[in-house]
Amino acid sequence: MLENPLVSIIVPCYKQAHFLPETLQSVLDQTYDNWECIIVNDGSPDNTEEVAGKWCEKDSRFKYLKKINGGLSSARNAGIKISTGLLILPLDSDDLLHSNFLIKLVPELIQDSSLAIVSCYREFFRDKKENVFYQEKSLGSTYQDLIYENILISSCLYLKTCWEEVGGYDEEMKSGFEDWEFWISITKRGWKYKFVEEFLFYYRKSKNSMLIDTLKNHVEDNIEYVFKKHKEIYIEHYDMTIFYFLFLIRRHRATEIKIKNSWEFKIAKIITKPFRIFEKIFLKNISK
């Protein structure tokens, strides 16, 4: 592979035009300069087109694609289809890259033929990049380290040939976890991944985000979808899969017991008792 390959950075944007300039500035600040950045307007109702246009005028390496809304997987796939780089970097429109992100990760990926994906340590921040409230270090290298928990961030650097091999991101997954499924699709074929042990990625924690909605409303459905789609690897690791499900059941039960034993629950139960009595009387009367 070339020593200085072109990296295609794919930035889908939907209702986040207000974050987009800061994200694109972190791309422009890269010390590795052989990149193109494709801003994908996924049918966003805000001024994404106006913001993207200014950045395309500022630097010819920025490109713009507009499409009807189809979700994150669809937007990423659309951007990658028109990309020309050998390496791909998905980047959400509210997250930020360290200026040395590419110059640190690109050599790791191109120098080891067993690797398909390279990631790094990440920091979580609120409002400003300096307001870091959590740091995450992950370890692992094969799909076995990945199948029960997504330890890779969505913004990993990877080979475009792997995207082609697995057929891109699954566009049926519109409620999150699409990146986890994508990484499993790649690594179960024998490809490995690696973590650069530096904090080179900044994840913005917002009150309202797709991830928060996913964690509140779609976790079980998404896990079921992934397990069924890749059932052969979960059957292969049957004992560990059963252990994982029993762990989830025990954790859920422990949480229920903790809530029921809390003072808040007991007080709420006392307060709502009259309403429950009234409800029983009401239902009894209307059933006569």
Residues 63 and 144 occupy one common structural domain: yes
Answer for the pair 23, 40: CB distance below 8 angstroms, yes or no: no
Local structure of 41: helix, strand or coil: strand
Residues 191 and 101 occupy one common structural domain: yes
Q: Looking at the 3D structure of the chain, how many domains does it have?
A: 2
Residues 93 and 148 occupy one common structural domain: yes
Residues 23 and 54 occupy one common structural domain: yes
Q: What is the pLDDT of residues 33-64, one digit of tens each?
A: 999 999 999 999 999 999 999 999 999 999 99
Answer for the pair 109, 100: CB distance below 8 angstroms, yes or no: no
pLDDT value of position 19? 96
Residues 220 and 245 occupy one common structural domain: no
Residues 191 and 278 occupy one common structural domain: no
Instruction: Measure the CA–CA gap between 83 and 38, rounded to whole angstroms.
Output: 8
Local structure of 282: helix, strand or coil: helix
Residue 188 lies in a domain: yes
Residues 247 and 166 occupy one common structural domain: no
pLDDT value of position 216? 63
What is the domain-level CATH number for residue 205? 3.90.550.10
Residue 1 lies in a domain: no
Instruction: Measure the CA–CA gap between 71 and 60, rounded to whole angstroms.
Output: 26
Residue 141 lies in a domain: yes
pTM of the predicted protein model: 0.85
CA 32 distance to own-chain centroid: 24
The fraction of the chain above a pLDDT of 90, given in percent, is 74
Residues 79 and 41 occupy one common structural domain: yes
The residue among 257 and 78 whose pLDDT is bigger is 78
Residues 255 and 127 occupy one common structural domain: no
Residues 76 and 160 occupy one common structural domain: yes
Owning domain of residue 141: 7-236
Residue 96 lies in a domain: yes
Q: What is the pLDDT of residues 193-213, one digit of tens each?
A: 999 999 999 999 875 555 555
